[in-house]
Amino acid sequence: MTTTTSTSTAIDAPAGRVWRLLTDAAWWNRADNGVVDVAGTIREGQRVKLVSELNPQRGFKLKVVDVDPPRSMTWSGGMPVGLFTGRRTFQVEPDGPERCTFTMAEDFTGPLAPLITRSLPDFQDSFDQFAAALKADGEAARDD
């Protein structure tokens, strides 16, 4: 069984600018994006710890498992031997030189997914808040 949450938004900014925000831990920690803290380096093979406003008392240890700049990135975390796995994907699709579409999705899989996902809060509002913050900051920023 797979449980998925996703969001998508058009951003009037170059894909490279949006990508730079998305891969900048400092942006995650200062933006009004539903994230309390991200510790670590957002780079393939690295580990990050994410603390969300949905549950600020708990941090999630995730590995940046796949990065294809400036288009896609995947983070993964969960339990050993695939009992429960969360995979968050970020995609930035250029729609021209000054516009792109951002999509973020989280899939939960594994034999324990039905049990564990029942205890998780609904991520939709948090995902939408994240996409709105990325859009606002991407459109407000200027490339040097």
Q: 67-117 pLDDT, tens per residue? A: 999 999 999 999 999 999 999 999 999 999 999 999 999 999 999 999 999
Average pLDDT in the 10-37 region?
96
- Residue in 49, 45, 44 with CA at minimum distance from that of residue 59: 49
38 CB contacts (<8 Å, ≥6 apart)?
A: 25, 28, 29, 48, 49, 50, 51
